[in-house]
Structure 1
Amino acid sequence: MRNYPEDIAGVDDERLVGETALVTGSTSGIGREAALSLGRLGAHVIVHGRDEEAGAEVVEEIDAGVKEGTAEFVAADFADPAEVRALADATRRAAGDDGLDLLLNNAGGYFREARRTDLGVEYTFHVNHLAPYQLTAELLDDLADDARVVTTASEAHRGDQIDLDAVDSVDGFSSWRAYQRSKLANVQFAAELGRRLRERDDRGITSNSFHPGAIPGSGFFRHLPGPLSGAASALGRLPFATTPAEGAATAVYLAVADEVADATGRYFADCRERKPSTEAQDPRAQRRLWEESADLLGMDEPLSAPVADEVEPTD
C-alpha cells in the first residue's frame, strides 16, 4: 500500500500541472518527500539544497515519474544572503511570467556548534529564520495570484521567547534553546506574513506554518542534549512518531488542499489547525520580529505599511 504524503493528506486527486513550486531543503527528509509529492501531482519543482548529487537524484526521480511533474536543482547556502538572493533569482527565472505558485520554506537544521554567520547573527537563527524571511521577501512580487507560502516550524517553539537584542550573541550557547527560538520565529513569521498579505496585498496569497512531527532517522535526535536524546529515541518506537512521508503530509496538505485555500496566518499539525504557544500568537512580538529581521539583513522591510497591534484570535 502506498504511503505517499499526498495520500496521507487526502489530496492525491489534485493536479498541479502548469504550477511551479520551490521546496527549500528538499534533498533529504520531509523536504525531499514534499518535493517528490508535488512532482507526482504534476508541478514543476525547484529542488533546493547544498548537496548537488543529492539534488540531482531528487530531480531525476521527479522527471522519471509517470506523471507530468518536472524538476530542476538550485544550490544555495542559507547562511549566505548572497546565495539566498541567487536562489530567488533562479526561482524567478524558472517561474516565468506566471509567477511562483508554491513556496515551501522547509530548509533548516539543528546545530550543535556555537557560531555566527558573516552577518554576526547566531547561526541557527540565521539559517532557520532569517534565510526564509529573506527568500520570501525577495520573491513576494513574483508570487502568483492565490499562491501559498508554507513554513516548517515545530512544537519545539513552545516554552521559549526570542530576545532580539541578543541574536548576535553565542554566550552561554544552548543548541536546544537556539533551535526553540528559531522555530518560534518560524511560527511568528508565518503569522505576521499572513496578516500583512491579507491587509496589504490583494492577490489572495496565504501563509501558514506547521509541525511535521518527530521523525526517526532524520538525524535530529542525535543532536539533542543528553536526557532529551534518550527520550526522543524512545519516541521513535511509538506509533505516533512519524516517517518523513508522514512529516511531509501536512506541508503538502497546506500547499494543495482546497479546504485551506483561504486559511492564513495559522499553525497546523497532522493536517489540522492547532493553537501555537501564547508567545507565538503575540502580535507585538510578531511585528517586532518582522521589523528587526529586515534590519538584521540590511534590507527594506517588506509589506511595511503599519499593521494594527491587535488581531483576532483563531479558533
Structure 2
Amino acid sequence: MRNYPEDIAGVGDERLVGETALVTGSTSGIGRETARALGRLGAHVIVHGRDEDDGAEVVDEIDAGVNEGTAEFVAADFADPEGVSALADATRRTTGDEGLDLLFNNAGGYFREARLTDLGVEYTFQVNHLAPYQLTAELLGDLADDARVITTSSEAHRGDQIDLDAVRSVDEFSSWRAYQRSKLANAQFAAELGSRLRERDDRGVTSNSFHPGAIPGSGFFRHLPAPLSGAASALGRLPFATTPAEGAATAVYLAVADEVADATGRYFADCREKKPSTEAQDPRAQHRLWEASAELLGIDEPLAPSAGDEP
C-alpha cells in the first residue's frame, strides 16, 4: 500500500472532484500532506502559508498530479487579523456561489518567544486559536451544504485549563503552557462550533478536531529549546515516529469518510473517535471561550444564541 494519508485512512478510492478545500498552514508538515492528498482525490485546494516559494511548490505538486486536483496559493499572516480577513476574501472569490466544502484549521506552531500581538494577546493564542476562530467566523456564511470544518488540536491539550486573563499577558510566560492552552482552545472551539451549528444552522455543516500524533518530521520541533529539539530530531529517525503523512491521515479521514459525515463536536486520533480531556468537554468552558474570543477580536459573536437561550 502507498504511504499516502488517504490510503492510511482507507479513503483512497473516494473522489472530491468539484469540491473546494482551504487548508491553512499547508506549505509544510501535515498541512502540506493533507493538501496533496486532497489534490490527489480531485479537489481544488487553496494552499495557505506565509512563504510564496513554498506555496508555489505545493501548488505545482498538486497541479502536476495525474488526477483532476488543482490548487492556488494565498499568503496570510495569522498574527494579523487583516491578513486573516484577506484570506477569507480570497477564499470567497474562489468558491463563489458554490461555497467552501472543506475548511481545515491547521495553521499554528510552538513559539518560544514571549510576546503580545497588536491586539494585546499572547502570540501563540492568537495564531493557534484566535486566527482560526476569526477565519471560521468570516467564512460561516460561505460554507457549502454538508461542509466539514476540521481543526488540528493535540494531546498536548490535556492537563491544562484556559485562564482568559493569562492570554492577555506574557508575565511568567511558559512556551509549553501557551501551546497547551492553545491546543485546548482548538478542541473546545471545535466542540462549541459543532454544538452551535447543530442548534442554529440547518445546512448539515459539521465540526471536529483531532490529534495528529507526535511528528518530528513536521518541523514543529524546530521551535523547542536546543536539548529537546535535538532529542526530537533523533526520535524522527526511529521507526515508530509518526510521519507527516501518517499525521495527516486523520485529517483526510474526517474530510472524506462516509462514517463520520454526521459526526460533529468530537475529537479524533488515529482515525477513531477519542475522548478529549474533561476540561475540553466542559460546555460552560467552551461557551466562555467562544464569547471571550469574539471580544478579544472585537467582532460580533458568531452563531450567537437567540434571546432566552441557555448558555
TM-score band, normalised by shorter chain: over 0.9
Q: What runs of 5+ residues in structure 1 fail to find an aligned partner?
A: 310-315
* Residue pairs, 1:254-273, within 5 angstroms: 254-273=254-273
1:78 lines up with 2:65 in the alignment: no
Confirm or deny: 8 A CA contact 1:122 1:170 kept in the other structure.
Answer: yes
Q: How far does the alpha carbon of each residue in 1:238-294 deviate from its partner, in whole angstroms, 9 at most, with x for none?
A: 544210000000000001110000000000000000000001001000000000000
Q: What runs of 5+ residues in structure 2 fail to find an aligned partner?
A: none
The aligned amino acid for 1:72 is E
- Give the structure 1 partner of residue 136 of structure 2: 136
Could you list the runs of 4 or more consecutive aligned residues of structure 1 that deviate by over 6 angstroms after TM superposition? none
- Give the structure 1 partner of residue 120 of structure 2: 120
SS in 2 for 1:119: coil
Write the distance in 2 (CA, Å) between the matches of 1:16 and 1:206. 17
Count of aligned pairs between the two proteins: 309
Q: How far does the alpha carbon of each residue in 1:99-158 deviate from its partner, in whole angstroms, 9 at most, with x for none?
A: 000000000000000001111100000000000000000000000000000000000000
- Give the structure 2 partner of residue 194 of structure 1: 194
The aligned amino acid for 2:253 is Y
1:54 lines up with 2:16 in the alignment: no
Write the distance in 2 (CA, Å) between the matches of 1:258 and 1:22. 20
Q: Could you tell which deviates more after superposition, 105-114 or 228-237? A: 228-237
The aligned amino acid for 2:250 is T
Confirm or deny: 8 A CA contact 2:29 2:219 kept in the other structure.
Answer: no
Write the distance in 2 (CA, Å) between the matches of 1:241 and 1:275. 23
The aligned amino acid for 2:110 is Y
Do the aligned partners of residues 206 and 212 (structure 1) sit closer, same or farther apart at CA in structure 2, a change above 3 Å counting? same
The aligned amino acid for 2:11 is V
- Give the structure 2 partner of residue 23 of structure 1: 23
Do the aligned partners of residues 230 and 58 (structure 1) sit closer, same or farther apart at CA in structure 2, a change above 3 Å counting? closer
Write the distance in 1 (CA, Å) between the matches of 2:228 and 2:310. 39
- Give the structure 1 partner of residue 278 of structure 2: 278
- Give the structure 1 partner of residue 102 of structure 2: 102
Write the distance in 2 (CA, Å) between the matches of 1:220 and 1:95. 31
Confirm or deny: 8 A CA contact 2:206 2:263 kept in the other structure.
Answer: yes
Write the distance in 1 (CA, Å) between the matches of 2:101 and 2:219. 30
Write the distance in 2 (CA, Å) between the matches of 1:145 and 1:11. 21
Do the aligned partners of residues 33 and 260 (structure 1) sit closer, same or farther apart at CA in structure 2, a change above 3 Å counting? same
The aligned amino acid for 1:49 is G
Confirm or deny: 8 A CA contact 1:210 1:269 kept in the other structure.
Answer: yes
1:174 lines up with 2:179 in the alignment: no
- Give the structure 2 partner of residue 65 of structure 1: 65
Return the TM-score normalized by structure 1: 0.95
- Give the structure 2 partner of residue 301 of structure 1: 301
Displacement of 1:308: 4.2
Confirm or deny: 8 A CA contact 2:24 2:107 kept in the other structure.
Answer: yes
- Give the structure 2 partner of residue 213 of structure 1: 213
Write the distance in 2 (CA, Å) between the matches of 1:78 and 1:111. 13
Q: How far does the alpha carbon of each residue in 1:198-248 deviate from its partner, in whole angstroms, 9 at most, with x for none?
A: 000000000000000011222323433577557655654554421000000
Do the aligned partners of residues 157 and 226 (structure 1) sit closer, same or farther apart at CA in structure 2, a change above 3 Å counting? farther
Instruction: Give the share of equivalent positions with the same residue, in percent.
Output: 88
Return the TM-score normalized by structure 2: 0.96
- Give the structure 1 partner of residue 291 of structure 2: 291
Confirm or deny: 8 A CA contact 2:107 2:128 kept in the other structure.
Answer: yes
Higher helix share: 2
Write the distance in 2 (CA, Å) between the matches of 1:110 and 1:193. 24
